[in-house]
Chain A
Amino acid sequence: MIRAVGARLLQAALVAMAVGVACFLMVRLLPGDMAYRVAAGRYGMDHVNTAAAEAVRAELGLDRPWWQLLGAWLGDLARFDLGVSLVSGDRVVEELSVYLGHTLLLAVVALLLSALVGPPIGVLLAMRPGSAADRTGLAVGAVLRAVPAFVIGLVLMMVFAVQLGWLPAAGVGGWREVVLPATTLAIGLAAVSSRVARDAMVAVAQAPYLAFARTKGLPEGAVIRRHALRNAAVPVTAYLGVQLVTLVEGVVIVETLFAWPGIGHALVHAVVARDVPMVQGTALAMGLIFVALNGAVDLACLAIDPRRRRPA
């Protein structure tokens, strides 16, 4: 337990380091003069000229050697100082805290939705493996998994926002705005988790401990409730850790599509504006969300499966 948390904390530190360096290098490697891009972000495309760009360059010290810039960023990071946005001049931490709240809301709602839909469907399909419903489920799951998130998002938007007018197509506010982006993310997650749950349940159904639970004389309901579900939950929960990649990736696309002011949205804008501290800050936040959620999955696995609790 403590070991698991400790390992994740160490991983968080390594992720922070790696993300910081990688972002720094990638932004430098992008084509175009950084000073021009920052100036464009600040004053608008039409007001950029060489003088404005040079002013930005001098102010931000962009003409320093790269290793000095990198060293300064890592030093600040060690003091938990993410710096100020090159564009808005606000502190990155403050901007992030606003975006982060939105992203967490979206991610949590999407995870809950997918957990309510995916595994139960998988368990139901597992009751009759090879049946027409099971094969249909496989086909639908495969299609939904293959379709990129932005296509699912666009279809949902066209049907529920444009055609039916039930829900807003974009923006942030009450629960109505969350529904479409969260559903977009949840569909991709549930398409996979339903298959994992289905396969896990079919495997558990053939396990000797389920046969023994029956010959002990337990009624079928008790067999499923007490022995099948918990054992099937082990691989489903473990796989959730893998799925989080999809979630973090999906957040960037879905937030941009639905103009949802979260971390992913901020990341895209920061990249366009070459706002290095913001790029680093958003990427760092996403990396740490990933580590934190993975840590939560680890703890959930420990809670479900006693075999993992044995001292190594």
Chain B
Amino acid sequence: MTMLALDEVAVHGPQGRIVAPATLRVEPGVPLVILGETGSGKSLLAQAVMGTLPAELHATGAIRLGADALPARDTAGRRALWGRTLAMLPQEPWAALDPTMPAMPQVAEVPRFVAGLPWPAARRAAAAALAAVGLAPAERRFPFQLSGGMCQRVALAATRIAGAPVLLADEPTKGLDAALRDSVAALLAEEVARGATLLVITHDIALARALGGELAVMLEGEIVEQGPVARVLAAPEHPYTRRLLAAEPEAWAPWPHRPAGAAVVEGEGLAKRYGPQRLFTGIDLALGAGEVVALTGPSGTGKSTLGNMLLGLVPPDAGTVRRRGGLSAFALQKLYQDPLAAFAPAMTLGDALAAVIRRHRLDPVLATRLRDRLRLAPALLARRPDQVSGGELQRFALLRALLLDPALLFADEPTSRLDLVTQAEVMELLREVVAETGMALLLVTHDAAMAGKVARRGMALRPETGGA
């Protein structure tokens, strides 16, 4: 039983202070969740505790672990505690596992090198740890042969096997769909029930709700609100916490819907397989003008493929896709998941838009009007894609698609890389555009709450049982 306390822990960079001094206390059995958006400094705070800050940053203050107090600056002293006293569950476990090593040795090497056990004993300990998280049959598999949730459990087994009483988890649900998120929350709750001292960093309100315990809300490097999770979420005091909670899709007003117009694109009997993997068969999907359809389902079920097929970007193995007569291929546009990957990196945004205007002989005045409509400042045009925020860049991507006056927009998880508040802003704009232009919208999302609020009707893809 070891409590973890932060005494005036701050993070400084070459340009000055990034995280204001934070004083926090985590008791065994009561998790502390630090909630904040990208850039709020919450991950830096976790790295300051762990002693893994990048070389150009340094921490001040003190970290107390049980009876010991360590200066936050002393990273070497912290490293000696890794695994034994202080453990960290990595972000994105599929990237944190060595791709060239099977699951078992990645766990067994911890008792081998940290506790100094001989290999056979270390392997027995690892087998027991993997069996405890229900992964006994996966011992010999490589990370690429494991699902995201299985990787998460292998990482947890490797993190916990040396018996560290204090566990940090930095964004443990990043990139997971709702079902996996719940299973991670259950795994962490189990650790807490066993008496672990747990500090969780997340942007995910649902995870905080599921874990319970204490909550600290972080904004621009400062903790703005703190208290029991249930109380803070039910009665938020700080305006930022209120804004955050209002931005959750569960809190959105449902989109109004008009009756669907004539079909813009119709797919019939669509099927696709990649190698032996059958994605889907016999799918019928049509979108009428002004209609909003949500496509949901776990990752790997072919949601993006189906959308790309309707756009004519991917040929179907079977079935047909028909576009309404008279519509050019450019009338079907796509909004990509990662806006940064959808723009040429060395070209300014102004040049990128000008290229589209030239290519399609569009009216620059209309383009300017549309840009104002999407609330994009003219000053941003001189910047490169990596010099604007993710939300701004996704609005530029939307602008670029809208320039061609599309009859259908296929939005492929357009907000999955954005923070809650930014996500709400982008989706609100999208709602307005659909209402004003009468275009059809096909939205791929893994967020069932968002799909429910946005779409007139939904389609859920399930993993096909056939194939290998």
A residues engaging B (CB < 8 A)?
Answer: 207-209, 211-219, 222, 226-227, 230-231, 234, 304-307, 310-312
Sample (29) of A-B pairs whose CB atoms are under 8 Å apart: A207-B95, A208-B96, A209-B95, A209-B96, A209-B98, A212-B96, A212-B158, A215-B83, A215-B90, A216-B82, A216-B110, A216-B159, A217-B113, A217-B114, A217-B162, A218-B109, A218-B110, A222-B109, A226-B109, A230-B98, A230-B100, A230-B101, A231-B98, A234-B100, A305-B100, A306-B100, A306-B144, A307-B144, A312-B275
Q: Which of A211, A217, A219, A312 contacts B84 (CB 8 A)?
A: A217
B343 within 8 A of A: no
A174 CB to nearest B CB, Å: 41
A7 CA / B102 CA spacing, docked (Å): 28
Q: A residues within 8 A CB of B87?
A: 215-217
A208 CA / B275 CA spacing, docked (Å): 30
Given contacts A208-B90, A226-B109, contact A218 B99 (CB under 8 A): no
B92 within 8 A of A: yes
A69 CA / B107 CA spacing, docked (Å): 66
Given contacts A219-B113, A222-B109, A222-B113, contact A231 B99 (CB under 8 A): yes
B91 within 8 A of A: yes
Do A215 and B82 have beta carbons less than 8 Å apart?
yes
A310 CB to nearest B CB, Å: 7
Report the count of interface residues on B (CB-CB < 8 A): 33
A109 CA / B92 CA spacing, docked (Å): 44
Q: B residues within 8 A CB of A227?
A: 98, 101
Chain B residue at minimal CB-CB distance from A214: B82
A231 CB to nearest B CB, Å: 6
A219 CA / B90 CA spacing, docked (Å): 18
Q: A residues within 8 A CB of B276?
A: 311
B380 CB to nearest A CB, Å: 30
Do B97 and A215 have beta carbons less than 8 Å apart?
no
B155 within 8 A of A: yes
A312 CA / B277 CA spacing, docked (Å): 10
Do A211 and B82 have beta carbons less than 8 Å apart?
no
A239 CA / B314 CA spacing, docked (Å): 32
Do A208 and B155 have beta carbons less than 8 Å apart?
no
A216 CA / B468 CA spacing, docked (Å): 34
Chain B residue at minimal CB-CB distance from A204: B98
Q: State the majority secondary structure of interface residues on B.
A: loop
Given contacts A218-B110, A218-B113, A222-B113, contact A211 B97 (CB under 8 A): no
Given contacts A212-B155, A226-B109, A311-B276, contact A218 B100 (CB under 8 A): no
Q: B residues within 8 A CB of A212?
A: 90, 96-97, 155, 158
Q: Which of B88, B99, B145 contacts A215 (CB 8 A)?
A: B88
Do B100 and A304 have beta carbons less than 8 Å apart?
yes
Starting from the known contacts A212-B96, A216-B82, 11 additional A-B residue pairs (CB-CB under 8 Å) come to A209-B96, A211-B52, A211-B90, A212-B97, A215-B88, A215-B90, A216-B162, A217-B87, A218-B114, A226-B98, A310-B144
Do B110 and A307 have beta carbons less than 8 Å apart?
no
A304 CA / B90 CA spacing, docked (Å): 25
Do B98 and A306 have beta carbons less than 8 Å apart?
no
Chain A residue at minimal CB-CB distance from B96: A212
Q: Which of B92, B99, B100, B110 contacts A217 (CB 8 A)?
A: B110
Q: A residues within 8 A CB of B52?
A: 211, 215
A218 CA / B159 CA spacing, docked (Å): 11
B294 within 8 A of A: no
Do B82 and A209 have beta carbons less than 8 Å apart?
no
Chain A residue at minimal CB-CB distance from B274: A312
A206 CB to nearest B CB, Å: 11
Q: B residues within 8 A CB of A312?
A: 275
B129 CB to nearest A CB, Å: 12
Chain A residue at minimal CB-CB distance from B84: A217
Do A211 and B96 have beta carbons less than 8 Å apart?
yes
Q: B residues within 8 A CB of A208?
A: 90-92, 95-96
Chain B residue at minimal CB-CB distance from A222: B113
Chain A residue at minimal CB-CB distance from B168: A215
B240 within 8 A of A: no
A307 CA / B114 CA spacing, docked (Å): 28
B142 within 8 A of A: yes
Chain B residue at minimal CB-CB distance from A305: B100
Do A209 and B109 have beta carbons less than 8 Å apart?
no
Q: A residues within 8 A CB of B96?
A: 208-209, 211-212
Interface centre among A214, A226, A234, A304 (most CB of B within 10 A): A226
Q: B residues within 8 A CB of A214?
A: 79, 82
B50 within 8 A of A: yes
Q: B residues within 8 A CB of A222?
A: 109, 113
A27 CB to nearest B CB, Å: 45
A-contact bits for B155-181, CB 8 A (1 contact / 0 none): 100110010000000000000000000
